[in-house]
Amino acid sequence: MTAEIISVGTELLLGNILNTNAQYLSRELAALGITVQRQSTIGDNHDRLAEWVSEAKARADLLVFTGGLGPTDDDLTKETVAACYGDSLAFDGEEWAKITAFFTRMGRATTPNNRKQAMVPVRGEKIPNAHGTAPGAWFEQDGRCAVLMPGVPAEMKAMWAEQVRPRLLARQNCTLHSLTLRVLGGESEIEYRVRDLLQSENPTAAIYCKTGESEIRITARAATDEDGAEICRAYARKFYDLLGEAVYDEDVPGLAWTLVHTLEAKGMTIAAAESCTGGLIARQITDVPGASRVFGYGFVTYWEQAKTRLLGVDPAVIARYNVVSAPVAAQMARGARLAAGADIAVAVTGLAGPDGGDDVRPVGTVYIAGAAAGRVAVKKYHFVRPDRENTRARAAHAALELALRLAQGRTPAGCMTVEEAACGASDTLAALDGALVGQ
């Protein structure tokens, strides 16, 4: 089955808004085994739209429209597409009642134009919109279909998931099951290792690169959801065989989510001490609803005196080893853990740029430390892309990764570990600093 995605809206052609609908629908259609041949964006112009729809209808089995369902004269997708599919529109009392009720709730009056939104297909079908006033529409002629959804992403996504996808699945006489693996590690490296598994038709598997990690989405079409789940599980095992421990969770929104829920399950708490990440770690942890059950204290210690006063970092250690160093990261983690009374603390000190940095510590040099169970683990990174935002994001991700390994009671890879109680001792610090140079 082939499809084209058609976004309607002059505001898209002016670049006033970013078209995220096309990407969302492309992914969803791919998961259904439907090949998207084109994505197009066109304006609210009747003649151009009619010409375009006729051509596209000849090319593709399914046309998926978003936008142009509003009440103004500009909004003419519905009538134009209806004509192209040999259909017409009729006034629908039920939809009109929903629209007037909505306006009454908002304390506003309807205008004659609003009646346009209550027009629905005569031969085709209207598609209920549970999240807005404009119903969608389904047209069909000679086995070719068109589906019209609103342009507002939240309304479109809800209509897709609740109404359109089930309809397409029913036509294929099957159901769809998805499983998402979250994988730590360099993006292109992960993609390279699993490349052969991404060629499959059913289940499909796609990889999406994120900061410091990748998302692998496996989707199976099957007669029942049970069968679909089994197919996904079997295929997931192939990824686990290739990636092992790099797969850190399944069907979760991200690393912070897994960290918060791992800590909660173990009854543990965490604190963060941040220099160059400047609050990014705390923000990512508190992005997770319910984070307050494991996180109470975050320290953004941007200045040296803040590291000293809030975290008890020894000024002599800063003077001797530099504020961007393994000993300072270790003392920050220890200090945050003690000040917060937490089970685990992570700390970051580094150079995000664009200024600062020299031959010994170029911009992109970051030390991450994690304190737990009487020990402190420190790791040195050098993020080569000279981009402040990227360095901060990668550093925060690395800190969350270290925190997760500590919460799991695992020894994080590539770290130097010392006794927490020895963090103030000069020989221990020297060892830390020496061992990590050049890593």
CB of 230 to a second copy, least distance (A): 25
Residue number with CB closer to a second copy (55 or 251): 55
Alpha-carbon distance 209 to 207, whole Å?
Answer: 7
* Burial of residue 323 (number of CB atoms within 10 Å: 0-12, 13-18, 19+): buried
CB 104 within 8 A of CB 110: no
CB of 161 to a second copy, least distance (A): 15
Alpha-carbon distance 166 to 115, whole Å?
Answer: 28
CB 38 within 8 A of CB 4: yes
Residue number with CB closer to a second copy (371 or 429): 371
Alpha-carbon distance 286 to 294, whole Å?
Answer: 10
Residue 204 CA: distances (Å) to CA of 5, 69, 122, 201, 342: 20, 33, 37, 5, 43
Read off φ and ψ for residue 250, nearest 5 degrees.
Answer: -130, 140
Residue number with CB closer to a second copy (28 or 433): 28
CB of 414 to a second copy, least distance (A): 23
Q: Please name the amino acid found at residue 60.
A: A
Q: How far apart are the first and last CA of the chain?
A: 51
Q: Name the helix (H) or strand (E) containing 375.
A: strand 375-382
Please confirm whether the linkage preceding 362 is cis (ω < 30° from 0): no
* Contact positions vs a second copy (CB under 8 A): 12-20, 22-30, 36-43, 48, 206-208, 272, 274, 276-283, 285-287, 289-292, 295-303, 305-306, 310, 340, 353-355, 388-389, 392
CB 227 within 8 A of CB 51: no
Spatial CA neighbour of 143 closest among 85, 184, 195, 88: 85
**DSSP states along 21-83:** HHHHHHHHHHHTTPEEEEEEEE-S-HHHHHHHHHHHHHH-SEEEEES--SSSTT--HHHHHHH
CB of 216 to a second copy, least distance (A): 12
Alpha-carbon distance 76 to 71, whole Å?
Answer: 9
Alpha-carbon distance 118 to 135, whole Å?
Answer: 7
Which residues on neighbouring strands pair with residue 210, listed in sequence order? 213
Alpha-carbon distance 152 to 34, whole Å?
Answer: 23
Residue number with CB closer to a second copy (243 or 396): 396
Residue number with CB closer to a second copy (84 or 418): 84
Residue number with CB closer to a second copy (28 or 87): 28
* Burial of residue 351 (number of CB atoms within 10 Å: 0-12, 13-18, 19+): buried
Structure tokens at 51: 């010409």
